[in-house]
Structure 1
Amino acid sequence: MRIVIAGGHGKIALLLAPLLTRRGHQVHALIRDQSQAADIAATGGVPVIYDMERDTPADLAAAVAGSDAVVFAAGAGAGAGSGAARKYTVDLNGSVQLADAAEHTGVTRFVQISTMGAGSPPEPGTDEVWAAYLDAKTRAEEDLRSRDLDWTILRPGVLTDSEGNGLITLGPPPIPRASVPRADVAATLASILFADNTFRCTLELVSGSLPIESAVSTI
């Protein structure tokens, strides 16, 4: 399969790509900066320069055309320059653009990385940027659910860089909020991509006691 990952230089994407390429799949990773290309190549993936905040829908359609699946793993992040506005231009509009491109090119499989907390109003007193992030993710989910695609929305809990152990809790919301290593998120995505029982499902993910393949197969 040929799989396009938007946000290809993100931490989860860089863990997901080698899981897929080692299984014989072709990964095209969308990145904004040519300087990131070597990191993509090291995963076995193909770097594709595309800036979702600047480039055109035609550019994105060209990058997606001929693929079997797309993964939206992009996010504005929490660094400098990532205020509330970029949650909408990246986390919301980026997903909408990718879904548009998938529809226009006939790619039906779409996996979106969201977050636990999406789908509910932020608690009173929530930081403005975090509230915007939750709102953008909620609206991106709503947009994807409205489309005639084989979509899956994955909402991980608090992300950590701890080593994954392959044991998770996965299911429809609500699941009690907890943490999960990015490595286990990537491994779960690698399984979900090919699991038609997860089509049109919104799933929450935290560390747990079930092996990933077993957790996915029980959805």
Structure 2
Amino acid sequence: MTNVLVIGASGAIARHVVADLAGRHDMRTTLYLRNAARISDLDTTGMKIVEGDVTDTARLTEAMQGQDIVYANLTGEMDILAQAVLDAMNAAGVKRLIFVTSLGIYDEVPGKFGDWNRREIGAYLPPFRRAADLIEATDLDYTILRPAWLTDRDEVEYETTTRNEPFKGTEVSRKSVAAYILTLLEDPARDIGGNIGLHKPGTEGDKPAFM
């Protein structure tokens, strides 16, 4: 039995992960979010739900007790939130972390799409980069994710790149990102220390097709 803590469980990607975990007897899931009403439409039978803010270190540390894997999918001041997660993990003695950031934090997106991406979100990326740097400086068993621009397409189709490779593709579905996260939950030894870009193959271009 693997104990999984999902932080930011009402997020668009996390909702797919929660749906994938519904009914699983090999995983015991705890959902941590500020407002449980936001997931009232999901099947959370058998899951523990904890309402709390990520920056409430005492409450988050309590929720971390006994967990094997922490999956964090957050929005806001990412470096501050990442530090709060790291502090709670250290206090609770949890080692395995899956943390979602953004493409572009290493200026790894090439070509015209890279230029467009910098214009669109470049000003917002420094806290995401600082969050990744904080995680990489730890001795945790982490996997950092950098998905492309996200769609709500009902599909699972993705490829990956590493930290030191040019990013490929312009978009990926949230459902695909969730599917990759599920592979990490099912095989916690996979991609430890990885800093993984996620994109849908065949979506190369100057910008995402939906923009």
Alignment TM-score > 0.5, same fold: yes
Which stretches of structure 1, 4 residues or more, deviate above 4 A after TM superposition?
121-125
Q: Tell me what 1:137 maps to.
A: 128
User: Which residue among 35, 50, 53 is the counterpart of 1:51?
Assistant: 53
Q: Tell me what 2:3 maps to.
A: 2
- SS of alignment partner, residue 140 of structure 1: helix
Does the 8 Å CA contact 2:98/2:143 hold for their aligned counterparts? yes
- Unaligned residue ranges in structure 2 (runs of 5+): 109-113, 203-211
Query: Once the 2 structures are TM-superposed, how far is the Cα of residue 144 of structure 1 from its aligned partner?
Result: 0.2
User: Which residue among 115, 118, 121 is the counterpart of 2:105?
Assistant: 118
CA distance in 2, matches of 1:37, 1:139: 29
* Match status 1:72 vs 2:72: yes
User: Which residue among 168, 177, 181 is the counterpart of 1:185?
Assistant: 177
Query: Once the 2 structures are TM-superposed, how far is the Cα of residue 37 of structure 1 from its aligned partner?
Result: 5.0
Does the 8 Å CA contact 1:116/1:177 hold for their aligned counterparts? no
Once the two structures are superposed, residues 102-126 of structure 1 have per-residue CA deviations (whole angstroms, 9 ceiling, x without a partner) of 1211111000111111123996983
Structure 1 range deviating more: 111-120 or 173-182: 173-182
CA distance in 2, matches of 1:16, 1:101: 22
Spell out the pairing of 1:20-35 with structure 2 (5 A cutoff): 20-24=21-25, 25-35=27-37
Count of residue pairs brought into register by the alignment: 190
Q: Tell me what 2:168 maps to.
A: 176
Does the 8 Å CA contact 2:9/2:32 hold for their aligned counterparts? yes
The TM-score with structure 1 as length reference comes to 0.78
Query: Once the 2 structures are TM-superposed, how far is the Cα of residue 175 of structure 1 from its aligned partner?
Result: 2.3
* Match status 1:146 vs 2:148: no
Task: Pick closer, same or farther for the CA change 1:34–1:198 going to 2, 3 Å.
Answer: closer
CA distance in 2, matches of 1:158, 1:196: 27
Q: Tell me what 1:162 maps to.
A: 153
Task: Pick closer, same or farther for the CA change 1:152–1:5 going to 2, 3 Å.
Answer: same
Structure with the higher helix share, 1 or 2 = 1
Query: Once the 2 structures are TM-superposed, how far is the Cα of residue 132 of structure 1 from its aligned partner?
Result: 4.5
Q: Tell me what 2:207 maps to.
A: none
Structure 1 range deviating more: 169-178 or 108-117: 169-178
Percent identity at matched positions?
A: 25
User: Which residue among 188, 195, 200 is the counterpart of 1:207?
Assistant: 200
